[in-house]
Amino acid sequence: MITGRKILLVLASTLFVICTDAQDLHFSQWFNSPLTTNPANTGFIPDADYRIGANYRNQWSAIMSEPYRTMSVWGDAQLLRNKIQYGWLGLGGVILRDEAGSGNLTSTQAYASIAYHQMLGYSSLLTAGFNVGWINKRISSANLKFPDQFDGKFFDQTLPTSVEIDQPNVNFFDIQVGMNYAYFPTNKVYLNGGFSVWHLNRARESFFSTDPAGFDSRLPMRYIGFVNGSFKTSDDVILNPMGYYTNQAGASETVLGLNAQYNLSHDGEQQVIGGIYYRVGDAFIPMIGFIYKNIRLMFTYDVTASGLSKYNGGNGAWEFSLASYGNYTQTNPYQRQSMCPSFKQ
């Protein structure tokens, strides 16, 4: 017999399909997914000239046979640093893929972004950027079960359903803008904050050719704000507090936390990172990571703290990020970028 919990999950996934006013994908390590947090982060690299990275997230595997899986690859670089005095361009791109549920709901997204960075004196930096993306969403209804197929004990897919998905493959364009500001009065203090608006064009996202009366299938705009800091407290310790807030269609998310970098090799070539974050009302997120030269690997685990914990045993999601940072070989004649606290001399 199907349990009440499974019925709830089936109904929830069905409503997710029918009502496309769903929330955007997200990473707990938002700070390690810079281009999906703010397009102004493109080329905003305090300790390098370019970087490439990848992210993977697996969510709700404890309660779903087909958990949510989110993957991304991204990269960005600083350009024209020897052409623009006290400024530069950032160019980058990101590809994301999200898979969810028994209906094989998949989302493939590709974004290209550009940002302009301008030094304001010697201790601050202002950035503005935007990106344009293409999104494809597909679904297979073969394995979906709908409320009118429930016979009181089981979901019977042989029963007819009134739900007809007439366009299971949709494509649309998406536009975002953002701004960043950084302040770095000394080589031991760094403060940064940014704000971005997503889905400016409010593209229509629906697996149905027409909307039901009173329902708007256009993507609601999403607002993201963040602040972070970096403070070098000794030759071997850097503290990084941070906060993140997003709001879309009345649903909001707030994440607060802190991580610390410890200098293992005393020259900055090898570092260990540990920290913990809290997604307000939802989960605690411990993190551990390692830096070896220009390679950074970090792992987080969402420990559910909400009412959902009695169903998933606290096993919310796990996530990792991998990034490589690099520098150009040519000499830069100008002071071009913000200076983040570092162990390297």
328-343 pLDDT tens trace: 876 555 555 667 888 8
Name, in order, each residue with C-beta under 8 angstroms of 244's C-beta and a sequence gap of 6 or more. Answer: 30, 31, 37, 224, 225, 226, 253, 254, 255, 256
Q: How far apart are CA 168 and CA 235, in angstroms?
A: 56
Over the stretch 39-74, which tens digit does the pLDDT of each residue have? 999 999 988 999 999 999 998 666 666 678 899 999
For residue 163, the model assigns a pLDDT of 67
Instruction: Assess whether pLDDT exceeds 70 at residue 225.
Output: yes
What does the domain layout of the chain look like in residue ranges? 4-326
Reported confidence tier of residue 16, pLDDT bands at 50, 70, 90: very low
List, in sequence order, every beta strand (DSSP E) within the chain.
50-59, 68-79, 87-100, 105-119, 124-138, 169-186, 189-198, 222-234, 237-248, 251-263, 270-279, 283-292, 295-304, 315-326
Tell me the pLDDT tens digit for each residue of 266-279.
888 999 999 999 99
Query: pLDDT tens digits, residue range 145-160?
Result: 666 666 666 665 666 6
Contact 332, 176 (CB under 8 A): no
Residues above pLDDT 90, as percent of the chain:
58
CA distances in angstroms from 204 to 97, 221, 258, 307, listed in the order given: 19, 12, 38, 33
**267-283 as b/e: b if 16+ CB within 10 A:** ebeebebebebebeebb
d(CA 233, CA 228): 16
> CA–CA separation, 116 vs 127, rounded Å?
6
Q: Of the ranges 208-217, 250-259, 333-342, which is most confident?
A: 250-259
Poorest-pLDDT segment among 115-119, 176-180, 257-261, 266-270: 266-270
> Taking 70 as the threshold, does the pLDDT of residue 14 lie above it?
no
Mean pLDDT of the chain: 85
**pTM of the predicted model, to two decimals?**
0.86
CATH code for the structural domain at 4-326: 2.40.160.40
Give 191's Cβ-side CA count (13 Å radius): 5
- pLDDT, mean of residues 197-202: 96
Mean pLDDT on 119-147:
86
DSSP state of 150: B
Which of 95-99, 213-217, 294-298 reaches the highest mean pLDDT? 294-298
Three-class secondary structure assignment of 56-75: EEEECCCCCCCCEEEEEEEE
Q: Do the Cβ atoms of 34 and 244 come closer than 8 Å?
A: no
